């Protein structure tokens, strides 16, 4: 039987690279994206194109409403910060943190994995560049996996162990881009910007754009991203 994996796919560099890694490990990939009232609904469109281009078995987009909880720049309540240094980004939890977002995303992935009888979930979380996000740390992922293995029918009946794979968790953005490029990822489709314009052009100044630029420089690979400011 073919190995099945659910891959969380936002359409950014990290999740797209993670998808390529899952494919390289010969998984049949079921990609899952979320529309969650974020500013960049454009993400979903890119995720769809990426999923198609990379030959996933199925791509599903789940609608969830995180806006009712408020409290995050990514859901529209707070200004996106601009032109911050790497040190500023690294201190404290960013305002772009969405409460319990990864916990919610992984839980939908778990539901789909259970239905598909897939034993693996791939997430592109990264503990280096987003050191301020509690739900991107290895100890969180381990605790999630432990909980998931007590949550499902398959776990109780003892015929599958669920794995949450996070291959990028300790890689730098540069290493991620290098790895993805080796695997043939076309990064021009990916979108990192927290606040793109109506034409899908990246702002070039939010934390995510700055990390992306730095990543391409580190990887020694030219960045084909089209930025609004140049």
Which residues in this chain contact a copy of itself in the complex, by CB under 8 A? Answer: 60, 62-66, 68-71, 93, 97-104, 106-108, 110-112, 114-115, 134-135, 137, 139-140, 143-144, 146-148, 150-153, 155-157
Q: How far is the CB of 212 from a copy of itself (least distance, A)?
A: 24
Where b means 16+ CB within 10 Å and e means fewer, 27-51 reads: bbbbbbbbebbbebebbbebbbebb
Q: How far apart are CA 107 and CA 205, in angstroms?
A: 32
R_g of the chain, CA atoms, integer Å: 17
Q: How far is the CB of 207 from a copy of itself (least distance, A)?
A: 17
Give the residue with the Cβ less far from a copy of itself, 58 or 83.
58
Q: Which residue is it, tokens 């592109």? A: 124
Q: How far is the CB of 210 from a copy of itself (least distance, A)?
A: 22
Q: How far is the CB of 93 from a copy of itself (least distance, A)?
A: 5
Give the residue with the Cβ less far from a copy of itself, 82 or 137.
137
- Length in residues, the chain: 230
Which SS3 state, helix, strand or coil, does residue 2 take? Answer: coil
Largest CA distance in the chain: 57
Give the residue with the Cβ less far from a copy of itself, 68 or 222.
68
Give the residue with the Cβ less far from a copy of itself, 3 or 153.
153
Q: How far apart are CA 85 and CA 171, in angstroms?
A: 20
Q: How far is the CB of 42 from a copy of itself (least distance, A)?
A: 21
Q: How far is the CB of 24 from a copy of itself (least distance, A)?
A: 27
List the one residue out of 167, 195, 143 whose CA is nearest residue 14.
167
CA dihedral 194, 219, 165, 54 (to 10 degrees): 80
Residue 40 near residue 193 (C-beta atoms within 8 A): yes
Backbone angles phi, psi at 214, to 5 degrees: -60, -40
Give the residue with the Cβ less far from a copy of itself, 156 or 226.
156
Give the residue with the Cβ less far from a copy of itself, 6 or 176.
6
């Amino acid at each position: 039987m073919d190995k099945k994996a659910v891959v969380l796919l936002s359409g950014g560099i990290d999740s797209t690279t993670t998808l390529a890694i899952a494919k390289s490990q010969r998984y049949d990939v079921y990609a899952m994206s979320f529309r969650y009232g974020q500013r960049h609904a454009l993400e979903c469109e890119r995720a769809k194109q990426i999923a198609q281009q990379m030959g996933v078995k199925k791509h599903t987009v789940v609608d969830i409403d995180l806006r009712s909880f408020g409290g995050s720049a990514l859901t529209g309540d707070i200004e996106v910060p601009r032109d911050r240094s790497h040190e500023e980004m690294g201190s404290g939890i960013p305002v772009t943190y969405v409460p319990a977002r990864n916990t919610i995303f992984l839980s939908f992935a778990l539901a789909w994995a259970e239905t598909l009888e897939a034993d693996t979930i791939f997430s592109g979380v990264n503990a280096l560049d987003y050191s301020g996000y509690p739900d991107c740390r290895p100890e969180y992922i381990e605790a999630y996996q432990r909980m998931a293995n007590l949550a499902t029918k398959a776990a109780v009946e003892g015929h599958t162990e669920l794995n949450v794979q996070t291959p990028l968790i300790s890689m730098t953005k540069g290493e991620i881009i290098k790895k993805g490029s080796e695997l043939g990822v076309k990064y021009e489709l990916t979108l990192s910007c927290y606040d793109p314009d109506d034409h899908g052009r990246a702002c070039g100044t939010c934390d995510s754009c700055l990390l992306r630029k730095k990543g391409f420089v580190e990887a020694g690979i030219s960045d084909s991203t089209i930025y609004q400011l140049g």
